[in-house]
A = this chain, B = another copy of it.
Amino acid sequence: MPDKPKSERTRVRREPNRGQYDRAAIDAVLDDGIVAHVGFTGHDGQTYVIPMLYARDGDRVLIHGSAASRLLTTLAGGVEVCVTVTLIDGLVVARSAFNSSLNYRSVVALGRARAVEAPAAKLEALRRLTEFLIPGRWDDCRQPTESELKATLILEMPLDEASAKIRTGPPADEADDYALDYWAGVIPFAKGTLEVIPDPRLKSGIAMPAYVRRWKRG
């Protein structure tokens, strides 16, 4: 696929050298994230940005989360949304304040989200959301009841208008600034997990599953 924006409105304008448009780059960012920031305009004309759990499922993004009620009132058969996923990798400490920056990977995806409504499709979407977040969990948990399914809002959005923006590497200082006596470098953020905390009410004799012990992103 040519590495060109799918639309003018997803073209990376500022720092265009950081823009990436091929699906492999976009998928790699999406598959490494946990929370998407979903933006939409409410009936009141106000823009809202709500953090939501999501999953990439092939050519669509599934979103699912706590804004359900507000999103629901906005929905009415489809709503234009912007789904942004950002992973922050490190602080870029340049010699100049101006060139100090962040190493990050982000995806901005635009499109019309619609509710997944058919029960079988909804169940499959929930399976995908669960497995995206914790691979191995779906077959090792209590799956949704009919009334839980009804109480759940899942939106799907086709992943056909998106761009990634990625910054990696050391600071990019002005040529003259390399002679200055200021320290420069990158402070990388830790990834991974701390020690897992079993539920205080865990029944005795239930071992921590391997998919929990080994959980990681990236």
Taking Cβ atoms with an 8 Å cutoff, the residues of A that contact B are: 9, 13-15, 18, 34-35, 37-42, 44-51, 53, 66-70, 80-84, 86, 88, 90-91, 93-98, 100, 102, 104, 106, 108, 110, 126, 130, 133-134, 137-138, 140-145, 148, 151-152, 165, 170-171, 177-203, 206-209, 212, 215
B188 pairs with A88, CB closer than 8 A:
no
Counting chain B CB atoms within 10 Å of each CB, which of A84, A97, A188, A212 scores highest?
A97
B212 pairs with A199, CB closer than 8 A:
no
A142 pairs with B37, CB closer than 8 A:
no
Known: A46-B9, A98-B148, A104-B35. A66 touches B15 (CB 8 A): yes
Cβ-defined partner of A141 (8 Å) among B37, B100, B185, B195:
B100
A195 pairs with B206, CB closer than 8 A:
no
Known: A179-B203, A188-B195, A190-B192. A49 touches B38 (CB 8 A): yes
B47 pairs with A81, CB closer than 8 A:
yes
- Across-interface contacts of A42 in B (CB, < 8 A): 9
B170 pairs with A185, CB closer than 8 A:
no
